[in-house]
Chains A and B, each alone.
Chain A
Amino acid sequence: MSTAVNRRMLKEYLAIQKNSATRPHLERLEPLQENDLLHWQAVLIGTSDSAYEGGKFQLDIVIPSSYPIQPPVIHFTTKICHPNVHFKTGEICLDILKSEWTPSWNLESVCVAISSLLTNPEPSSPLNCDAGKSANLLRCGDMAGYNSLVKMYTELYAMDDDDDNDDK
Chain B
Amino acid sequence: MDNSITDPLDWPAEFAAMREIDSHLRCPICKEFLRAAMMLQCYHNFCSECIRRHLDKESTCPACRVATSTSQLRRNVSLDEVSQNFVDCRSQLLKAVKGSVDSSKVKTQQLPTTTETMDYNVAIQQKKRRRVSTRISTRSTRSGQEYHTAATDDDIDDEDFVINSQESSKPINNNGKGVDRQKTAGPVLRSRAGAGGASNHSTGEMESQDSVTSEPPAPSLLTNGQPAESFKHNLVQCPVCAVGVPEPYTNTHLDKFCFQGKKDPAYTISYDLISTQAPDVIRLYERQGTTTSDVSGATPASLQQSKSSNAFDALSGFNGRSAQTSSSFQSKFEMPVSPKKPALEMPSELAFDFITRLPKVTYSVLNDKQLRKRLQELGLSTQGDRQLLQKRHAEYVTIYNANCDSSRPQPVTQLKKSLAAWEQAYEKDLQSKDAQRRAQGTFQRQQQELAQQQQQSASEINISSSQPSSQSSSQPSSQPSSQPSASNSSAPVQSHVNNSLVAVAASRAHLSAHAYKHKDEYDELIADIRRRQMAEKERARVEEEKKQKEKEPLTVV
Contact = CB atoms under 8 A, between A and B. Distances in A.
A103 B5 contact: no
A103 B54 contact: yes
A11 B429 contact: no
Interface string A86-111: 00110000000000101110100000
A166 B425 contact: no
A15 interface: yes
Nearest to B6: A11
Contacts of A11: 5, 7, 31
Contacts of A12: 31
A70 B62 CA distance: 12
A8 interface: yes
Contacts, number: 63
B7 A88 contact: no
A88 B521 contact: yes
A82 B521 CA distance: 17
Interface residues of B, number: 32
A33 interface: no
Contacts of B535: 166
Interface in A14-55: 14-15, 18-19, 22
A7 to B, nearest CB: 7
B517 A18 contact: no
A89 B515 CA distance: 11
A162 B429 CA distance: 39
A3 interface: yes
Interface residues of A, number: 26
Contacts of B514: 88
Nearest to A86: B518
Given A7-B32, A68-B29, A166-B532, A102 B60 contact: yes
A19 B65 contact: no
A116 interface: no
B62 A65 contact: no
Interface string B51-65: 001100100101101
B517 A1 contact: no
Given A4-B30, A103-B50, A18 B62 contact: no
A22 B134 CA distance: 10
B7 A1 contact: no
B443 interface: no
Given A1-B426, A4-B30, A104-B62, A10 B5 contact: yes
Contact of B5 (A7, A102, A106): A7
Given A10-B5, A11-B31, A69-B57, A103 B425 contact: no
Contacts of B62: 102-104
Contacts of B532: 166
Contacts of B522: 88
Contact of B531 (A22, A68, A166): A166
A125 interface: no
Closest 8 CB pairs of A and B: A2-B425, A104-B28, A103-B29, A102-B62, A18-B9, A65-B429, A103-B62, A104-B62
Interface of B: 5, 7, 9, 28-32, 50, 53-54, 57, 60, 62-63, 65, 134, 421-422, 425-426, 428-429, 514, 517-518, 521-522, 525, 531-532, 535
11 contacts: A1-B421, A2-B425, A7-B30, A10-B5, A18-B9, A69-B29, A69-B57, A103-B62, A104-B29, A104-B62, A106-B31
